[in-house]
Amino acid sequence: MGIPSEDRDRFREWTQTFFTPPSKDAQEKTREAHQRFIQYLEDIFEQRRQQPGDDLISALLAVQEQGDRLSAEELTSMVFVLLVGGYETTGNLLGNGLLALLQHPDQLQRLREDRSLIPSAVEEMLRYCGPFELSILRFPKEDLELHGQRIQAHEAVRVNYLAADRDAAQFSEPDRFDVGRTPNKHVAFGHGIHFCLGAPLARLEAIVAFELLLERLPGMRLATAPEKLAWRPSAQSRGLVSLPLAF
C-alpha cells in the first residue's frame, strides 16, 4: 500500500475504534476516528499524486486519473477496506489460531511432527475460531422463510459466520479442533460476491507465520490461565487484547 510503517500505531487505534460496539459514548469517538482516517488517506493520496511510488495507492491513482474506473469516494473506500481488513482480521486469526493450538497440545504436536498440515490447520483455525463474527448488513430482495424464521424484504440481516462454522449438519464433530480436517467448507471468508478479496493473502500470511512460530519458538506455552485472557469488545471482529506467552 505504501503506508509508512511509523503510522502503524495510529492505524491500530483507529481500527479498534471502528470495531467498538455501538453506544452513545462510542459514537462520537467512532465519527472522529473515521474523519481522521479519511483525512490521513487524502493526505497520502496528494503525496502520491505529487510523487508516485512503486505502491498500490500510486497505481490506483494512476487508474483514476487516466480513466473513470475509480471515483474519489471509491478510491477512499477501496484503500480503507484494504487497510482495515488487511491486518485487523489477519492479526485476530493469528492470535485466535495460536491460542487454539496451545489449548490443544495434541494438535500442536501433530503440526510439529508434520509441517505439511499447516495449510489445513489454518483452514481449521478459520472455521473453529475465525477472526470475524458478523457479516456486513445484507438485505433480502423479497420476503422469505429460512429455517422457520420469516424475513421481510429489505429487512437488515447479519450472518453469524462463527455459528455457521459450527453447524453439525455441515461438519463432523464441529466443536472438535482438528488441524487435519477435510473437507472443511467453512464460510470464514464469506461466500459468493461477498467472498473476501484478501483471502489468498490472509492464508499465505497465516501459513508463513505459523511455520516460523513452530521453527523459532518450539517451547512456547501460555503464560496465563485461558480464563484470564481478555477479548476486545467488538461488534463484528473477534480477537484477543493480548496473548501472553512463556518459553
28-39 tens-digit pLDDT? 888 888 899 889
User: Cis omega (within 30 of 0) on the bond before 183?
Assistant: yes
158 and 234 inside one domain: yes
175 and 110 inside one domain: yes
- The verdict on residue 63 lying in a domain is yes
3 and 75 inside one domain: no
- The verdict on residue 247 lying in a domain is no
Q: Which residues have a Cβ under 8 Å from the Cβ of 191 and sit 6 or more positions away?
A: none
Question: Is beta strand 245-246 parallel, antiparallel or unpaired with respect to 221-222?
Answer: antiparallel
Q: What is the phi/psi pair of residue 158, to 5°? A: -120, 140
61 and 163 inside one domain: no
Cα–Cα dist 173/185, whole Å: 14
Cα–Cα dist 134/14, whole Å: 20
Cell numbers that stand for 236 in this block = 463484528
Task: Dump pLDDT digits (tens) for 22-63.
Answer: 676 778 888 888 899 889 988 988 999 899 999 988 988 887
Residue span of the structural domain in which 64 resides: 1-70
Average pLDDT (11-23) is 77
